[in-house]
Amino acid sequence: MLVWFLPLFLLFLLLGLPVFFGMLAAPGLLLWMNGQERDLALLYRNVYNGIDSFPLMAIPFFMLAGELMNRGGITMRLVEFSQALMGHFRGGLAHVNVLSSMLFAGLSGSAVADTSALGSMLIPAMEREGYTRRFAAAITAASSVIGPIIPPSGIMIIYAYVMGESVAALFLAGIVPGILVGLGLMVAVKLMADRYGFPASRSKATWGERGQASLKAFFPLLTPVIILG
């Protein structure tokens, strides 16, 4: 019966069933057809015992927090804050992309959430400013990997749970590397902007405009503190 597991699993995927449910349904159906109801109950009990963990509850809550922040306009506030700080530099929107990814990393902890929230907003804006689609997509994809590095990070929680490590220690270990990755990307953007003549996205913001943008972004920037608490 085991030889039919892979074809049945692929069939479920072709029918549009999510991978997780496909991996459960394929062996479950085979065990049921083979009359192994006892093993079937053991299979699903072991699956439940594997996910019955308090630390893993943080993963869906991080996803929910990222979605609420995106729908609530927090993403736009972070982008406006980044533009007020770095929009006047040559290649300003690319710098804004990187800085926004660093700030959003502390909110969602997910590279996918970072890419979907910021990419849908910044990639079209960069194209309108004269950037190529390939460069805009590349800088968005490269900066989004900061999401799982700067805490809080869902991947770090899973790793700590599986390997028995301290979540707090992993979070502390990810701060400096995440910031260095962002700074390295900004240096690369600066070199490419000087070489290819990328435009600035706006004139230099006044201190009043920066203060206003900082006030709007004040509570969103406190979100990582609330999440970690």
pLDDT for 2: 63
Q: Tens digits of per-residue pLDDT, 160-201?
A: 877 888 888 888 888 889 889 989 999 998 898 888 888 777
* Lowest-confidence region among 105-109, 119-123, 165-169, 178-182: 105-109
For residues 90-111, average pLDDT: 78
pLDDT for 180: 92
Q: How many CB atoms lie within 10 A of CB 180?
A: 12
3-state helix, strand, coil in the chain (%, to 5): 80, 0, 20
Both tokens of 38, joined, read: 């006892």
Contact partners, residue 85, CB within 8 Å, separation at least 6: 99, 205, 210, 213
For residues 122-136, average pLDDT: 84
Does the reported pTM lie above 0.85? no
Q: What is the rounded distance in angstroms from the CA atom of residue 65 to the CA atom of residue 227?
A: 9
* Lowest-confidence region among 51-55, 149-153, 202-206: 51-55
Q: Tens digits of per-residue pLDDT, 31-73?
A: 777 777 677 677 777 777 777 777 677 767 766 766 676 677 7
Q: What is the rounded distance in angstroms from the CA atom of residue 74 to the CA atom of residue 116?
A: 14
Of these ranges, 73-82, 137-146, 211-220, the one predicted with the greatest mean pLDDT is 137-146
pLDDT for 184: 92
